[in-house]
Amino acid sequence: MYSVTKQQMSFRSSGPLSGETVVPGDKSISHRALMLAAMADGQSRIQGLSPGGDVRSTACALRAMGARIEAEGPDTWHVDGVGTGGLNTPHAPLDMGNSGTSARLLMGLIASHPVTATLTGDSSLSRRPMERVAGPLRTIGATIAASPQGTLPLTIEGAAAAVPRHHRLTVASAQVKSALLLAALNTPGVTRITEPVATRDHSERMLRHFGARIEVAEEPGGGRTIALAGKAALTPQDIAIPGDPSSAAFLAVAALVVPGSSIVIRNVGTNPLRMGLFDALRAMGGDIVFDNERMVDGEPVADMRVRHSALRATDIAPQAVPSMIDEFPIFFIAAAFADGTSRTSGLRELRVKESDRIAAMAEGLRAIGARVEENQDGLAIMGSGGAPLPGGATIASCMDHRIAMSFAIAGLHCSQAVTIDSMAPVDTSFPGFVTTLQELHSA
């Protein structure tokens, strides 16, 4: 199934996947759990923390600003918080690695504290836009100097007395919303944020769990207004983080497209604002069932059962994009094996992720034999009707973990092996990805 040369790895068809597995802790929730625990006054215990490099970047930055974060085991951590308002100026630049979430959310956290910090990142992150967060944060009193392109490296001088605002977002972005909510923690008065379309609400749920005074009101047309009262005194918590649905997505699509497969993924987060991909896959005829549904620390969780299915093409409307924004690379793989032509639009945000995911996925799909049409904000993919694709190509991961994992899954149902030029980026979110695939093939 696999052959490895340095960081290069090849994936080929080797029969159905079966058995049970788990995926790493939800990356989005892990970032927020660390930050809110660092703002609490006392010790929090976090179980199931994502082991990926992105979350490690957040932990290192919080340590540099005064929080004490220590491992109890491989995925359990203790965080001794500094309390709201207690951040210290770090002695050196904060390295965000490849994590856009770390950079943007920490900008918000720092913006309302009287500290100064410089944020840096790797070459990929240093091409990603930061002005969408920096602009609103300047309106509360923060001073932010980015590169001429509006990217990292970036220096932020937080406001000694931040000003509460009503932020009306023109683009739906959970990261921008979350950065503003984190800034609101140490801002006296009520901060309000209106988003045009409801985006993932992990921040709102976790803020409530830590004791913040937060209210959410539905707006006409599907948007929401969130109001947070600061300065907020957060209470330490014990938190169990569910498995990441974005990681589960790769295994689910593998089971759907590889004939004879049947797997169970335990303890997956099922936040309704993260279920867009699974809703789409089920609309395509995918046999996906959620069992043992339950609530864990304010988040819905379930066990996911997935069986091989004959997929039908589908169109993804722009209003569905926020609920599956991170899962489009693996959706494109599912579409490549479906019957008919799947179309997407409203995906301009994908051009400024870890890579230009529209262009990278189009190029890779063509290389393995799929028929693809690329436009400015989406793709049209003509599926194989369930038949294997030719494969036999080497795919440029573009140092993007989701590109690498998506084409690894594609290789499992191609006539010839698909080689990924580097699987190193996968460490940012799913360090055990290859091992998990091997175990599901040997079960």
Q: How far apart are CA 252 and CA 118, in angstroms?
A: 39
Contacts of 135 by beta carbon, 8 Å cutoff, 6+ apart: none
Kindly report whether the peptide bond that precedes residue 153 is cis, defined as omega within 30 degrees of 0.
yes
Domain boundary among 220, 240, 260: 240
Segment 258-281, tens digit of pLDDT: 999 999 999 999 999 999 999 999
Q: Are residues 9 and 40 in the same domain?
A: no
Q: Which of 201, 297, 326, 400 is catalytic?
A: 326
pLDDT score recorded for residue 6: 54
Q: Are residues 268 and 231 in the same domain?
A: no
pLDDT score recorded for residue 4: 47
- Give binding residues for 3-phosphoshikimate as ranges: 27-28, 32, 173, 175, 326, 353
Average pLDDT value over all residues in the chain: 96
**Is the pTM of the predicted complex or chain greater than 0.85?**
yes
Q: Are residues 247 and 292 in the same domain?
A: yes
Q: Are residues 195 and 332 in the same domain?
A: no
Q: Are residues 6 and 37 in the same domain?
A: no
Q: Are residues 299 and 180 in the same domain?
A: no
Q: How far apart are CA 332 and CA 366, in angstroms?
A: 12
Is the CB of residue 440 less than 8 Å from the CB of residue 15? no
326 is catalytic: yes
Q: Are residues 194 and 342 in the same domain?
A: no
pLDDT score recorded for residue 244: 98
Segment 350-376, tens digit of pLDDT: 998 888 999 999 999 999 999 999 998
What does the pLDDT average to over 399-427?
A: 96
Q: Are residues 222 and 260 in the same domain?
A: no
Of all residues in the chain, what percent carry a pLDDT higher than 70?
A: 99
Nearest to 97 by CA among 53, 127, 153: 53
Exposed / middle / buried, residue 309 (Cβ in 10 Å: 0-12, 13-18, 19+): buried
- Give binding residues as ranges: 27-28, 32, 100, 128, 173, 175, 326, 353, 357, 402
Domain containing 358: what range?
A: 2-25+242-442
Is the CB of residue 184 less than 8 Å from the CB of residue 109? no
Asked whether the predicted pLDDT for residue 58 surpasses 90, the reply is yes
Q: Are residues 222 and 365 in the same domain?
A: no
Torsion angle (degrees, nearest 10) of CA 429, 432, 434, 436: -120
Domain count, the chain: 2
Q: Are residues 398 and 270 in the same domain?
A: yes
Asked whether the predicted pLDDT for residue 443 surpasses 90, the reply is no
DSSP 74: S
Q: How many CA atoms lie within 13 A of 380 on its CB side?
A: 5
Contacts of 163 by beta carbon, 8 Å cutoff, 6+ apart: 139, 140, 141, 187
Query: Residue 140: how many CB atoms within 10 A of its CB?
Result: 22
CATH code at position 417: 3.65.10.10
How many Å from the N-terminal Cα to the C-terminal Cα in the chain?
14
What does the pLDDT average to over 3-17?
A: 83
Asked whether the predicted pLDDT for residue 285 surpasses 70, the reply is yes
